[in-house]
């Protein structure tokens, strides 16, 4: 049974030049469902609707914060808010438009498909690679074919509609950066909104519209912040140190006939 090293696995999706037989570049004849722009420099998922909703919701909430809350506290509050917003927006764009680790397809089925599948060493154990009939390649460990994007993706974690892209090998750090920075932003907005309510209660009466806006922001950013704070803690403390991904952590709960990447060879 053939054993495949990590470097060779990188080439399992096919080799070749950046141009195909038709003389067109790879991004011009890309077979997946991803949206590609900037002459192949940016690649993202096929459905931008939730991503756009995410942007509208974020900018609307922050617009209320700057217009009704931050301006009544101190100018430095606005500056810190813009800094946190800029950092989170940067990580969001990088996570959304970075190639997550898509493997090239083979034009023809692999000649050794009918033979014994290749193996690889994962955490000191020999595992047998599974074959993707859509991409005509043997998938490396922790690789999965994303049904949304219709591609095999290296070290696949999950497809996140909020960032409009798969979260995997090449953009995972940007996704974690986005979740961490947006969590800090939610905590910051929630704390400032609570401060406005406290100031109003203790003597400096604020307009009813400002108090209503503060309460809405407290509920929205509080619930969102608690949820988002849990995610980076879980990912950093468990998934990172266990050298695992969300998909592989949940793999034993999924049906054996689908989502089964590899099996151990005893």
Indicate the SS3 state at residue 116: coil
- Written as six digits, the tokens of 57 are 């919701």
- Written as six digits, the tokens of 233 are 């803690």
CB neighbours of residue 58 within 10 Å: 16
Question: Which of these, 264, 251, 256, lies nearest to 121 by C-alpha position?
Answer: 264
In this structure, what are the phi and psi dihedrals at residue 150, rounded to the nearest 5 degrees? 60, 45
CB neighbours of residue 44 within 10 Å: 24
Selecting among 146, 152, 160, 192, the annotated active-site residue is 160
Q: What angle do CA 241, 172, 130 make, to 5 degrees?
A: 80
In this structure, what DSSP letter does residue 207 have?
Answer: P
Measured between alpha carbons, how far is 40 from 239 in angstroms, rounded to an integer? 31
Is 149 in the active site?
no
Measured between alpha carbons, how far is 260 from 243 in angstroms, rounded to an integer? 18
Task: Judge contact between 106 and 13, C-beta under 8 A.
Answer: yes
Q: Which residues are catalytic?
A: 160
């Amino acid at each position: 049974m053939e054993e495949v090293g990590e470097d060779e696995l990188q080439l399992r999706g096919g080799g070749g030049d950046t141009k195909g037989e038709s003389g067109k570049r790879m991004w011009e004849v890309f077979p997946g469902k991803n949206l590609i722009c900037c002459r192949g420099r940016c690649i993202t998922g096929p459905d931008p609707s939730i991503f756009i909703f995410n942007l509208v919701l974020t900018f609307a909430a922050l617009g209320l914060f700057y217009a009704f809350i931050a301006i009544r506290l101190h100018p430095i509050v606005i500056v810190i808010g813009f800094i946190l917003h800029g950092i989170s927006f940067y990580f969001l764009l990088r996570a959304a438009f970075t190639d997550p680790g898509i493997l090239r397809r083979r034009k023809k089925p692999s000649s050794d498909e009918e033979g014994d599948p290749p193996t690889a060493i994962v955490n000191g154990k020999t595992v047998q690679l599974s074959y993707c009939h859509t991409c005509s390649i043997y998938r490396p460990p922790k690789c999965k074919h994303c049904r949304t994007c219709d591609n095999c993706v290296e070290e696949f974690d999950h497809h996140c509609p909020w960032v409009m892209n798969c979260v995997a090998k090449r953009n995972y750090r940007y996704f974690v950066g986005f979740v961490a920075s947006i969590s800090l932003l939610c905590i910051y907005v929630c704390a400032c909104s609570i401060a406005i309510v406290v100031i109003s209660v203790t003597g400096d009466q604020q307009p009813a519209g400002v108090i209503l806006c503060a309460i809405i922001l407290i509920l929205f950013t509080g619930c969102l912040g608690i949820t988002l704070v849990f995610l980076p803690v879980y990912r950093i403390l468990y998934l990172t140190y266990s050298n695992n991904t969300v998909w592989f952590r949940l793999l034993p709960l999924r049906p054996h006939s689908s989502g089964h990447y590899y099996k151990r060879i005893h």
